[in-house]
Structure 1
C-alpha cells in the first residue's frame, strides 16, 4: 500500500494547482497512513490530527441527531488556503488536503480527490 500512497501523493503534488499538503488517516485510531507536504514547516500529520477532531465531532453530531446521513467532505476556507477533509464512504479514513486558494481549481481538486478516494478504498 505504501507504493500506492506514495504515487497518490506525487500525483496530487503534480496535478493539483496550489498543492500545499496531504494526509491520509484512519478515523478510529487517528493513525496517519501517508503524509506529504510541499511547504517547509507545514506538518500535514499534525494538521490531520487536529482535523480528525472536526470529523469525530461531526460524526457524533450526525449520530446524536439521528440523521441517516454520511459526510462527503468538509471544507474550511482560510484567507489564503482551502482545507478539504474528504471522508471515505465507510467512514473508516479521511484524506486531508490543503491548497493555496489563489492557485487552486476547486472543481478539479474535488474531482481528483473523489477519484483517489475510490482507489484508496480498495487498498485500505
Structure 2
C-alpha cells in the first residue's frame, strides 16, 4: 500500500506529467498536489474537475447506468487531463487527477500507470 505522498510522486513520474492531485469531489478540495505551474493551478483544476465528476455521475444515474467510471479523459490541443475516481472502499468520494503534456505523454501507458497507482493507494 502507498501513502498519498508516494502516490503523487508516482503520478509525477508518468512520462509527460505536468501536475497531479488527489481530490475529494464532495468538497472540491485537493487533499494533495504535486507539480503544476502558473498556467496549471491544481487547486482550481481540482475544484473545476469536481464539477465534471459530479455531472457525469448525475448523468449516469439519470440513464440508469450501474457501471463505475474507470476514467474521464479531457483532450486539449497540448494536454491530456485524466480524472480517475478511486473505486476502493477507502477512497470513496475521491479521484486522481493527472495533467499531461500531450507531446511527451503516452496516453495508454499513463492510464495503465494511473490504474496501478490507484490500486496501491491507501487513503
TM-score interval for Structure 1 and Structure 2 normalised by the shorter chain: 0.7 to 0.9
Aligned positions, number: 120
What pairs with 1:89-104 in structure 2 (closer than 5 Å)?
Answer: 89=87, 91-104=92-105
Highest RCO, 1 vs 2 (Cα 8 Å, sep ≥ 6): 2
Measured on the aligned residues, the alpha-carbon RMSD in Å equals 1.9
Structure 1 unpaired stretches of 5+: none
Give the CA deviation at 1:38.
Answer: 4.6
Structure 2 unpaired stretches of 5+: none
What pairs with 1:62-73 in structure 2 (closer than 5 Å)?
Answer: 62-73=60-71
Q: Residue 110 of structure 2 corresponds to which residue in structure 1?
A: 109
TM-score (norm 1): 0.86
How many angstroms apart in 2 are the aligned matches of 1:52 and 1:84? Answer: 12
SS at match of 1:96: strand
- The runs of at least 4 aligned residues of structure 1 exceeding 4 Å deviation read none
C-alpha contact (below 8 Å) 1:19/1:38 kept by paired residues: no
What pairs with 1:1-124 in structure 2 (closer than 5 Å)?
Answer: 4-13=3-12, 15-89=13-87, 91-120=92-121, 123-124=122-123
TM-score (norm 2): 0.87
